């Protein structure tokens, strides 16, 4: 049956890719990775390159969930202002985390180059201030980033200069990050899969991990086989709670939707976004958009805090697009899809370990770059250098209140309130 959430432009444009066979026997490995999104794949490449015997289990196909459906926006840093991060974890740890997060972009570029991944890579990201106060906030961030990371990592854009980057009105300025950008996420995921396999990782698709038995060795069981390993790494993002209920309490699934217009032609597309940068704004329920390699506008706006998607995703997102780009009134929408974003209370990723069970989830809408970093940090840790992994573990997190059944309604009330404040 056709899945309306998975009718994406990415599937239509990524080309054919043969799936790997499911796990059909009992095997051994050094590390069993559960989840074939960016986190699991990056960990698989990095661990296999470091000499570990790696098995990766993916319940569907590689890139099936958020990693194959996202906006493709490469947004450097965390989904929290650096100044706030430092307030949260202190000057020393905060600065180290900022440097680490900023290294993610170079790591993704290195992967793309080293493994020759053709994924429609483009440079530049601009974040727009929806309110005057937001612009003042961005000014502080840019000054801070100049001090911490060096001048030019982030460039303040005055309200009158916005149209050099993107042709929208109603914003109060922005910040342009040349080291940001965008890519075709499904092509990147498949490129990582090829890289992991050529480094020696064994990948099984259609292989849902049903249970984990803990002990000196962990045993991960699927319906038709098992993996006995020294470590298990849960890279299931929004689904972590199914296998690790304790860690799962720290993330909340939120559905988010994207549409792709018909191809607009280069001239019309560039009239919308002259810089060809990825664009996002500071609204609580943010708009984010960019051009595709074949000159479509890929636009995301609106969130729905219920487990059920809207009947007609295109009709749900289109008004947000038309509000910014009324000139697209007659433009056809060719694709509309959605996916689950795993978010944490503070919007920072939740990364840690419970014995030999390791996990990383909750990138809160900013996982395109951070996931590759996390996979590499995991491999460093297994090799004996846990400095960077420990840094992530120093981020304090709060579980969502209310347990599995109650946390959704409690959270929905909070999100709706914030969205309403946004409109006011
Ligand atoms: C619509 C949308 C738009 C987004 N836009 C952006 C963006 O523009 N920029 C950005 O930085 N981030 C964005 N994100 C967030 C980003 O996509 C995620 O943070 C990132 O992809 C998470 O990668 P992951 O590998 O941790 O998880 P996922 O990609 O969710 O992968 C987890 C995998 O685990 C598998 N799995 C789950 N349970 C099991 C099991 N029991 N056994 C085996 N396999 C299992 C799933 O099938 C899935 O393939 C967006 C997310 C969504 C949904």
**76 CB within 6 A, ligand 1:** no
The confidence score (pLDDT) of residue 412 equals 58
Q: How far apart are CA 88 and CA 83, in angstroms?
A: 9
Report which ligand 1 atom has the smallest distance to the Cα of 57: 43
Name the burial class of residue 403, with classes exposed (0-12), middle (13-18) and buried (19+) by CB atoms within 10 angstroms of its CB: exposed
The answer, yes or no, to whether any atom of ligand 1 lies below 6 A from the CB of 333, is no
- Please check whether residue 396 lies inside any domain of the structure: yes
The pLDDT, as a whole number, for residue 100 is: 95
In a domain, 99, yes or no: no
Asked if residue 8 belongs to a domain, the reply is yes
Q: Ligand 1 centroid vs 210 CA: distance in angstroms?
A: 19
Task: Indicate whether 284 belongs to any domain.
Answer: no
In a domain, 357, yes or no: yes
pLDDT in tens, 88-128: 999 999 999 999 999 999 999 999 999 999 999 999 999 99
Whose C-alpha lies nearest to ligand 1, atom 50? 70
Number of domains composing the chain: 1
Q: What is the pLDDT of residues 126-142, one digit of tens each?
A: 999 999 999 998 998 88
Does 83 reside within a domain? no
CA of 81 relative to ligand 1 center, distance in Å: 22
Asked whether residue 422 carries a pLDDT value surpassing 60, the answer given is no
Distance separating alpha carbons of residues 362 and 276, to the nearest angstrom: 28
Cα 363 to averaged position of ligand 1 atoms, centre (Å): 9
The pLDDT assigned to 145 comes to 81
Task: State the residue range of the domain holding 29.
Answer: 4-69+187-252+346-416
Looking at residues 213-232, what average pLDDT do you find? 97
| Structural domain includes residue 278 | no
Distance from residue 57's CA to the centre of ligand 1 (Å): 14
Closest to 407 (Cα-Cα) out of 241, 222, 284, 263: 241
The answer to whether residue 232 sits within a structural domain is: yes
- For 130-186, give the DSSP string: SSHHHHHHHHHHHHHHHHHH-TTSSEEE-GGGHHHH----S---EEEEEEEEE--HH
**CATH code for position 231:** 3.50.50.60
Give the confidence band of 424 by pLDDT, cuts at 50, 70, 90: very low
CA 344 – CA 350 distance, rounded (Å): 7
């Amino acid at each position: 049956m056709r899945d309306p959430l998975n009718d994406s432009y990415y599937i239509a444009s990524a080309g054919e890719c043969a799936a790997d066979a499911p796990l059909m026997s009992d095997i051994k490995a050094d590390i069993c990775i559960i989840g074939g999104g960016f986190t699991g794949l990056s960990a698989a490449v990095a661990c296999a390159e470091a000499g570990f015997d790696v098995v990766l289990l993916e319940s569907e196909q590689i890139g099936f969930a958020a990693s194959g459906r996202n906006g493709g926006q490469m947004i450097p840093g965390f989904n929290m202002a650096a100044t706030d991060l430092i307030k949260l974890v202190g000057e020393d740890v905060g600065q180290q985390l900022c440097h680490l997060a900023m290294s993610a972009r170079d790591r993704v570029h290195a992967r793309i180059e080293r493994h020759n991944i053709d994924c429609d890579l483009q440079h530049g990201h601009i974040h727009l201030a929806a309110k005057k106060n937001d612009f003042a906030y961005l000014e502080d961030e840019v000054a801070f980033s100049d001090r911490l990371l060096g001048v030019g990592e982030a460039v303040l854009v005055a309200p009158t200069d916005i149209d050099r980057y993107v042709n929208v009105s109603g914003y109060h300025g922005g910040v342009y990050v040349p080291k940001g950008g965008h890519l075709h996420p499904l092509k990147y995921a498949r490129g990582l899969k090829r890289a992991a396999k050529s480094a020696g990782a064994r990948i099984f698709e259609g292989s849902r991990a049903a249970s984990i038995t803990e002990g000196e060795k962990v045993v991960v069981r699927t319906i038709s086989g098992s993996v006995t390993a020294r470590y298990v790494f849960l890279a299931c993002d929004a689904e972590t709670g199914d296998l690790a209920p304790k860690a799962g309490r720290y993330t909340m699934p939120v559905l988010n939707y994207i549409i792709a217009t018909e191809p607009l032609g280069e001239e019309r597309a560039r009239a919308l976004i002259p810089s060809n940068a990825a664009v996002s704004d500071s609204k609580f329920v943010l708009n984010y958009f960019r051009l595709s390699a074949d000159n479509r506008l890929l636009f995301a706006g609106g969130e729905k805090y219920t487990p059920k998607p809207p009947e007609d995703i295109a009709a749900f997102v289109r008004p947000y697009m038309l509000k910014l780009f009324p000139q697209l009134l007659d433009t056809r929408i060719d694709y509309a899809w959605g996916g689950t974003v795993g978010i944490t209370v503070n919007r920072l990723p939740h990364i840690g370990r419970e014995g030999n069970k390791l996990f990383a989830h909750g990138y809160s809408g900013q996982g395109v770059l951070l996931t590759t970093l996390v996979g590499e940090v995991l491999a460093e840790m297994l090799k004996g250098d846990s400095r960077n992994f420990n840094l992530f573990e120093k981020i304090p997190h709060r579980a969502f209140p209310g347990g599995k059944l109650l946390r959704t309604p409690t959270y929905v009330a909070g999100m709706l309130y914030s969205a309403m404040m946004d409109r006011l």
